[in-house]
Amino acid sequence: MADRILVIDDEDSLRVLYASELRREGYEVVVAADADQALALFSKGQFALAVVDIELPGMDGLELIGKLKRSRPATPLVINSAYGTYKADFKSWLADGYVIKSSDLEPLKAKIKELLTKSDKEE
């Protein structure tokens, strides 16, 4: 069974791109456009990992990460942001990985693979 990943990003085109690329890698992908939708999906389903944008409408990704970690502490979370400055924010330290958005999705895919492999070994 494929690992199920939740991708949270407010940009339609990026959600489509990430879903397409990650499905090509063999993952099952569910997308959310904002924090409220992500929390609803996260509470109803099991996810192997979540990819979280920081700049979201309403609740920002850093606050969302805190709520996701409290809900399911063992689920790896990857921040995927266009802004490297958030790395210095202590709230970002709750995430298991931080990837800067770019046109090259290889760093994101590599971080996902690394965290899922690490997660599998810990079980």
The tens digit of pLDDT for each residue in 18-37 reads: 999 999 999 999 999 999 99
Helix/strand/coil for 70 = helix
Q: What pLDDT was estimated at residue 45?
A: 87
Architecture of domain 4-122: 3-Layer(aba) Sandwich (3.40)
Global pTM reads: 0.90
Question: Cα separation of 26 and 109, whole Å?
Answer: 11
The tens digit of pLDDT for each residue in 56-94 reads: 999 999 999 999 999 999 999 999 988 666 566 656 667
Q: What pLDDT was estimated at residue 112?
A: 97
Packing angle of the helix pair 61-71, 35-44 (nearest 10 deg): 10
Number of other residues whose CB lies within 10 A of the CB of residue 46: 8
Question: Cα separation of 99 and 101, whole Å?
Answer: 6
Backbone angles phi, psi at 26, to 5 degrees: 105, 5
Please check whether residue 51 is in contact with residue 15, taking contact to mean a CB–CB distance below 8 angstroms. no
